[in-house]
Amino acid sequence: MKDIMIQLDNVTFEYKNYEDENIAALKDVTLSVRKGEFLAVLGHNGSGKSTLAKLINALLLPTKGKVLVKGMDTLDEDKIWDVRQAAGMVFQNPDNQLVATIVEEDVAFGPENQGINPSEIRKRVDNALETVGMLDYINHAPHLLSGGQKQRVAIAGVLAMMPDCIILDEPTAMLDPSGRKEVMSTITRLNKEENKTIILITHYMDEAVQADRIVVMSEGEVALEGEPREVFSRVEDIIGLGLDVPQVTELAYKLRKEGINVPSNILTVEELVMSL
């Protein structure tokens, strides 16, 4: 169990609707995330993926079951800040996470609230901005940055708190293609070079392809789980869950249906070209 970063044991989360009925957003989910793993979580709206992210960050607490972050139970009130420091959260809209008028002050906000000494904060701010490729913008006003740049500053703000795990809840949903590319290259670099555990909630299949493992949520439960090749080769199952597959995987699937013998687990254009 030493290498487990996040553990969900039979977790259910219920909320009350307008008619005061209990609605289960998550139903009896058991899931482990290893240290240094890059996990992508897919699912259509209402599948429970954002609820899962908020439970890991202790923004929500389970109705039943346990959520453990680095062995700490999120239901333990004394550990709540330790949990949030271990598992930092980046949200969909970077504007909601930026709090200061200058980039460096924004990144320093978290460590200042942790009571870290100023010389250590200085180091952390510089390191975090360098890691996300935004050190040149240290004295810029966040509201003048592009969407991708703002999201990278938001990620730097989380990095300055030195979490072991970063949960990103659809961080590219509001960005244009170049902003999405910037943020995804930052996320993959954090995982590969800094060995950060990454949990990426996304609805973009091409982002999920870059993960070590994919979990597909449906109606509050884990519907599919496995490596990207394994999950995306199940084209009919994924379409049945109301999701897309990467375009090149879908093309390979259609070619197979036409009797052209290409592998079912193709993920990239290069692979398809080679097999043809």
Structure token pair of residue 222: 């884990």
- Helix (H), strand (E), coil (C) string for 90-119: ECCCHHHCCCCCCHHHHHHHHHHHCCCCHH
Residue 5: the pLDDT is 93
Give the whole-angstrom CA distance, residue 126 versus residue 11: 38
Q: Does 33 have pLDDT greater than 90?
A: yes
Give whole-number Cα distances, 107 to 68, 98, 103, 194, 199, in Å. 27, 9, 6, 18, 21
41 and 207 Cβ atoms separated by less than 8 Å: no
The domain locations on the chain are 4-245, 246-276
**pTM greater than the 0.75 cutoff:** yes
Taking the alpha carbons of 92, 94, 98, 104 in that order, is the dihedral positive or negative? Answer: positive
Structure confidence at residue 126 as a pLDDT band (50, 70, 90): very high
* Closest-CA residue to 168 (of 181, 148, 150, 183): 183
The pLDDT tens digits for 51-64 are 999 999 999 999 99
102 and 93 Cβ atoms separated by less than 8 Å: no
Q: Which CATH superfamily is domain 4-245 in?
A: P-loop containing nucleotide triphosphate hydrolases (3.40.50.300)
Q: Does 1 have pLDDT greater than 60?
A: no
Structure token pair of residue 254: 């259609």
DSSP string, 196-240: -EEEEE-S-HHHHTTSSEEEEEETTEEEEEE-HHHHHT-HHHHHH
